[in-house]
Amino acid sequence: MNARIRSALAALAIAIGSAASAQTAAPAPGSGFTRWEGRWYEVARLANWPERDCGPEVSATFLRRTDGDISVIHQCRKTDGSWGVAVGEGRFEEAPPPRTLGVRFTSLWYTAPPFSWGDYYALDLDLDAHYLILGSTDRDHVWIMSQTRTMDEAVYQRAVAEAAALGYDTAKLVRTGK
């Protein structure tokens, strides 16, 4: 690759990065991975293509591996009654900035960043109320998750209000769990 093309690509990457940083959400303070490791049940989400066939039973399990990375196991009961399982790979940035969780469910042969990784923030974590709001940095995806299969309605409304305050379009939330 000649120097002119490399310079153009570098300038494009800087421009995209600058534009994206002005529009991204921020992680919750103290949202280190070890605080939310384990199984979480989806209560609501913004509609997204990978979960298009998922019904009301959806969970994600986040487990720290011995190599320091994270295994992400996404399970859902599909609308036809069958179960869908996706196993992904994650990496968590403990130190600020930006304390993001990078996850990919793509094939291992396709690992060219940034195309195979999605970056998410633990936007709000309330271990007393047992909920987590996980959102994409571009605000196109958000999940409200609970450590239990059910969530108190007042707690759910508080989580929805928090997601809305952070700029997510909560009018489009799909309620999956109660």
Number of folded domains that form the chain: 1
Q: Look up the CATH number of the domain holding residue 121.
A: 2.40.128.20
- 129 or 111, higher pLDDT: 129
Residue 59's domain spans which residues? 25-175
pLDDT in tens, 17-39: 333 333 456 545 444 556 678 89
Residue 74 resides in a domain: yes
What value does the mean pLDDT take over residues 136-160? 92
What value does the mean pLDDT take over residues 152-164? 95
% of the chain surpassing 70 pLDDT: 63
- Does the pTM surpass 0.85? The reply is no
Instruction: Name the pLDDT band for 90 (thresholds 50, 70, 90).
Output: confident
pLDDT in tens, 41-72: 999 999 988 888 999 899 999 888 888 788 88
b/e per residue 57-74 (b: at least 16 CB within 10 A): ebbbebeeeeeeebebeb
Query: Is the bond into 114 cis (omega within 30 degrees of 0)?
Result: yes
Residue 1 resides in a domain: no
Residue 132 resides in a domain: yes
Residue 7 resides in a domain: no
pLDDT, residue 156, reads: 95
Cβ-proximal residues to 108 (8 Å cutoff; 6+ apart), any chain: none
Q: Which two tokens stand for residue 177?
A: 């769990």
Residue 165 resides in a domain: yes
- Neighbouring C-beta atoms of residue 175, cutoff 10 Å: 13
Residue 59 resides in a domain: yes
pLDDT, residue 98, reads: 47
Residue 170 resides in a domain: yes
Residue 80 resides in a domain: yes
Full DSSP string of 35-89:
GT-EEEEEEEEE--GGGTTEEEEEEEEEEE-TTS-EEEEEEEEETTS-EEEEEEE
Residue type, 46: L
Mean model confidence pLDDT for the chain: 74
Instruction: Name the pLDDT band for 120 (thresholds 50, 70, 90).
Output: confident
- Neighbouring C-beta atoms of residue 23, cutoff 10 Å: 10
